[in-house]
Structure 1
């Protein structure tokens, strides 16, 4: 079975998105051009940011129809990240909320991609 090692988001401006994610996640940009940028998410997993204007084949979907999810250790960390991301100016699509899977919030990146932070129910 192939190994999962890459997540690619189609973005309007890869250098701008790379700066956004580098600052938000505290990760370095390890590759950058006008049409593509890449950051490590964790060992063996990369985040690629590809220009939606140059990707081939042409991407037809829109941002917001999927999510990038980040698990944290407890509900306090969910609240702390919510407050931090809101102070950074991210649009908050869902304030911290208790759902059937745990406590969560959703923010949007500059291209409208959904970023969900959550703590699994058994850890909340």
Structure 2
């Protein structure tokens, strides 16, 4: 059996969210409808952006989950990503810090969903 893990993120506007994530990830969607868009993140992993499931998602509502982008590079690469995203105006929730598993930072998409960048491994 072939399996794939799809992490679904609820958003207010799937096309707008896809532009945001496409810019951050440097990639184009692999599948698009007006309310559901996915990005192929590699073998067995996809990111799905789904709108229309909730009305008026608010960035102010506390989130209990995160999307984690695990990078191969070390602290210099992580800091460079932080600076790039910061320059793009991405909302930063926590600057780079050591979290016990390595250097990490936490950002948010326009709908308030958390995005962590951390070392792979």
TM-score by length of 1: 0.81
Where 1:83 maps in the other structure, the secondary structure is helix
Find the aligned partners of 1:78 and 1:22 in 2 and give their Cα distance. Answer: 18
- Identify the range of structure 1 (12-21 vs 29-38) with the bigger mean alpha-carbon deviation: 29-38
SS of the residue aligned with 2:111? coil
Aligned with 2:39: secondary structure?
strand
Distance in 1 between residues matched to 2:14 and 2:62, nearest whole Å: 14
- Structure 1 CA distance, aligned partners of 2:66 and 2:27? 19
List aligned pairs for 1:1-124, cutoff 5 A. 3-51=3-51, 53-54=52-53, 64-72=63-71, 73-119=73-119
Query: Whose relative contact order is higher, 1 or 2, with alpha carbons under 8 Å and at least 6 apart?
Result: 2
5+ residue gaps in structure 2?
55-60
Q: Partners of 1:63 and 1:85 in 2: how far apart?
A: 22
Residue 59 (structure 1) aligns with: none
Q: For 2:116 and 2:101, locate their aligned partners in 1 and report how far apart those are by CA, in whole Å.
A: 12
Distance 1:63 1:27 in 2: 28
> Residues of 2 paired with 1:104 and 1:70: CA distance?
10
How far did residue 92 of structure 1 move? 0.5
Deviation at 1:82, TM superposition (A): 0.3
Contact 2:11 2:111 in 1 (8 A): yes
C-alpha deviation, 1:79, in angstroms: 0.4
